[in-house]
Amino acid sequence: MNIHNTIIETDFEAIKSKQNAAWASGNYAVVGITLQIVGETLAETMDNKAGAQILDVAAGNGNATLAFARRWHNVTSTDYVASLLESGKARAEAEGHEVDFKVADAEALPFDDNSYDAVVSTFGVMFTPNQEQAARELVRVCKPRGQIGMANWTPSSFIGRLFKTLGRHVAPPAGVQSPALWGDQAWLDETFAPMASIIRVTKRHFNFRYRSPAHFVDVFRTLYGPVHKAFLALDANGQTALEADILALIAEFNVATDGSMNAPAEYAEIIITKA
């Protein structure tokens, strides 16, 4: 049994290493910053008092970090991709915010139990391969009766469907479940109920606005790590097929009628109160 557990753990570490390389490729910060409104909305919903100790997990280039810092919270911003933290640090310094930035693995956070008034993550922790372990870590470092706040894409959303589209062309690692589970009410209840007194899920939408569907594909295949890596893994015919499938998906969601792109993407805003 110990040997089996070691193999599983090694597999997760190998997967995370590949994920790290994927997120460090391209330039996620350019895409990530367009999602800033989600962090602002989460900060307003959570309504923490000024001076609260906030941990942002899988913070990327700092959308939630900045949203909470702007409300005078004491924020620690973490990610396992150092280059993304550097981008977040530059943004915070440009605005004059004092934020503590630390490279950290969401599945093994280097913080004591019950350390933070609130733990947050916007479209970040959902990408961890060992999802149950990451969930336990969020709860562990949160103070009793503190809040865990997240924004996660839902399985049927535009981005949830994009994940499925990528998976049809490039097989995901064996044993890794869809990140969109973090936006599924049943999975959230099953995973967090033993550790929570309240689980509140609100469905919201973020609108992906681009010059055109082709512009979206170009930006994501160049800058957004998972899509960038998927295209690199395919030959010319495979790339053409993937592009066609992404454009077909956009056509399902696009509500713009002037040749541009406006695709509403559902996400779950989740507020969990620790027991």
Q: What is the CATH number of the domain that holds 229?
A: 3.40.50.150
Output the pLDDT for position 19.
Answer: 74
Output the pLDDT for position 6.
Answer: 40
CA 113 to CA 176: how far, in whole Å?
Answer: 27
Q: What is the mean pLDDT of the chain?
A: 93
Q: Which residue has the higher pLDDT, 18 or 154?
A: 154
Mean of the pLDDT values across residues 236-264? Answer: 98
Looking at the DSSP bridge assignments, the partners of residue 267 are 153, 204
Mean of the pLDDT values across residues 219-225? Answer: 94
Looking at the DSSP bridge assignments, the partners of residue 119 are 55, 148
Mean of the pLDDT values across residues 50-67? Answer: 98
Structural contact between residues 125 and 55, judged by C-beta atoms closer than 8 angstroms: no
Contacts of 120 (CB under 8 A, 6+ apart): 42, 46, 54, 55, 56, 57, 64, 68, 148, 149, 150
CA distances in angstroms from 108 to 36, 138, 232, listed in the order given: 26, 10, 30
CA 47 to CA 73: how far, in whole Å?
Answer: 11
Output the pLDDT for position 27.
Answer: 84
CA 66 to CA 71: how far, in whole Å?
Answer: 9
The total domain count for the chain is: 1
pLDDT tier at 28 (50, 70, 90 boundaries)? Answer: confident
Closest CA to 246 of 228, 259, 258: 228
236-253 helix and 213-223 helix, angle to the nearest 10 degrees = 130
Mean of the pLDDT values across residues 238-252? Answer: 98
Looking at the DSSP bridge assignments, the partners of residue 55 are 76, 119
Has residue 222 got a pLDDT over 50?
Answer: yes
Residue with tokens 């973090």: 182
Contacts of 156 (CB under 8 A, 6+ apart): 266
Has residue 259 got a pLDDT over 50?
Answer: yes
pLDDT tier at 3 (50, 70, 90 boundaries)? Answer: very low
pLDDT tier at 172 (50, 70, 90 boundaries)? Answer: confident
Read off the tokens for 70: 């702007």
Closest CA to 46 of 128, 116, 136, 106: 116
Has residue 69 got a pLDDT over 70?
Answer: yes
Structural contact between residues 150 and 128, judged by C-beta atoms closer than 8 angstroms: no
Output the pLDDT for position 12.
Answer: 78
pLDDT tier at 18 (50, 70, 90 boundaries)? Answer: confident
Q: Which domain holds residue 107?
A: 2-274
Prediction pTM value: 0.92
pLDDT tier at 22 (50, 70, 90 boundaries)? Answer: low
